[in-house]
Amino acid sequence: MQYVLYREGSIIRKGEKTKQHVIEQTSLLLNRRGYLSTTLSEITDATGLQKGGLYNHFRDKEELSLASFRHNCAALGEYVYRAAEEAGPNAVDRLLAYLTAYCRVDYPGGCPIANMASETRFVSEPLFLQAKEAMDDVLRFTEETIRTGIANREIRPEVDARDASLFIFSMVEGAILMHKLYPDAISMLLERITRYVNAELRLQVLS
């Protein structure tokens, strides 16, 4: 994902350091309790800043929610993209490693994108559009991986990369939701997702 807020080794002014501290302290809180429903008093308790101190760095609570959401996406994205890179060059292997990491990562509060989208759909257009943009990034990665696999004769040529990506992530987000309710079901659900990728996407080479 493209949400990079801080690079280690950068020179950061005191104000920026405080702002980054606030984001780090509130990101998981908001993902657990809700980007809209978390109260200002809960945020001030978590950060140690009073309302005036917070608004020295953020225009309003919505701006803080946006920054915290991007931070959560960056943290989750770093983990799942690393899993894909470590899987090697084969497109199907990279895709499966990415999906497995996405389903199995125990990110506090669950998937930030699903949380933000479900909470803000009819309440805050800026926050909802940010969730859609984040999911667009996820789908872009899977689409590019599938197209690379088609070009390398690792994925069936008739596969529509966009349709496959949408279908796969409808299963992934559903699996994450069901995992919250039925933790023991995640292995079975992930096995079904893997079976779909291997049966419907992977190009079977006749020996």
User: Which tokens is 24 given?
Assistant: 């780090």
pLDDT tens readout for residues 95-129: 999 999 999 988 899 999 999 999 999 999 999 99
Contact 89, 24 (CB under 8 A): no
Per DSSP (E only), the strands in the chain are: none
- Residue 54 phi, psi (nearest 5): -65, -45
Residues of the chain above pLDDT 70, percent: 91
Per DSSP (E only), the strands in 15-161 are: none
Q: Cα separation of 15 and 57, whole Å?
A: 8
Query: Among 107, 59, 105, which residue's Cα sits nearest to residue 82?
Result: 105
Residue 61 pLDDT exceeds 60: yes
User: Which tokens is 111 given?
Assistant: 């998937």
pTM score of the predicted model:
0.85
pLDDT tens readout for residues 15-45: 678 888 889 989 999 999 999 999 999 999 9
Amino acid at 20: Q
Give the pLDDT score at 205. 65
Instruction: Give the bridge partners for 155, in sequence order.
Output: 202
Residues of the chain above pLDDT 90, percent: 72
Query: Among 90, 80, 195, which residue's Cα sits nearest to residue 149?
Result: 90
Domains of the chain, earliest start first: 14-201 (1.10.357.10)
pLDDT tens readout for residues 155-166: 999 999 999 999
Give the pLDDT score at 51. 82
3 falls in which pLDDT band (50, 70, 90)? very low
